[in-house]
Amino acid sequence: MKLQESGENYLETILILTQEKGYVRSVDIAHALSFTKPSVSRAISVLKKAEHITVDTDGGIELTQTGRQIAEQIYERHRLLTEYLKAIGVSEETAAADACRMEHVISQETFDRLKEHVARRS
């Protein structure tokens, strides 16, 4: 089943929060994404059912192997696209916002070629 953009955003946020804090709870996600706790709770339920995350008895959320793979792929795209857009003169704020939208729709082929292009220019 193809994960929707919102699910990818949740997984990416869980990855980032885990890297920053070492642990993640629903309230952390709600705060980071400016979403309501009920919205986050519904998303967590969907991600858990799809086996992209686990939730322990204390409410700690962790990515499964598949969840981590998706999150890392999306986050890599986000970072590269943001840096590329900034390098061509887009403001940091706009670059980050545009990269957030682009990271979900860009094909793997296009991303791979862009990544190679950036590597050659470095």
**Looking at the whole model, is its pTM more than 0.85?**
yes
Residue with tokens 């590597």: 119
> Mean per-residue pLDDT for 106-116?
93
Query: Which percentage of the chain shows pLDDT scores above 70?
Result: 98
Closest CA to 11 of 59, 58, 55, 64: 64
> Mean per-residue pLDDT for 101-115?
93
Q: Kindly report, residue by residue over 65-101, the tens digit of the pLDDT.
A: 999 999 999 999 999 999 999 999 999 999 999 999 9
CA separation for the pair 73, 68 (Å, rounded): 8
Q: Kindly report, residue by residue over 19-42, the tens digit of the pLDDT.
A: 999 999 999 999 999 999 999 999
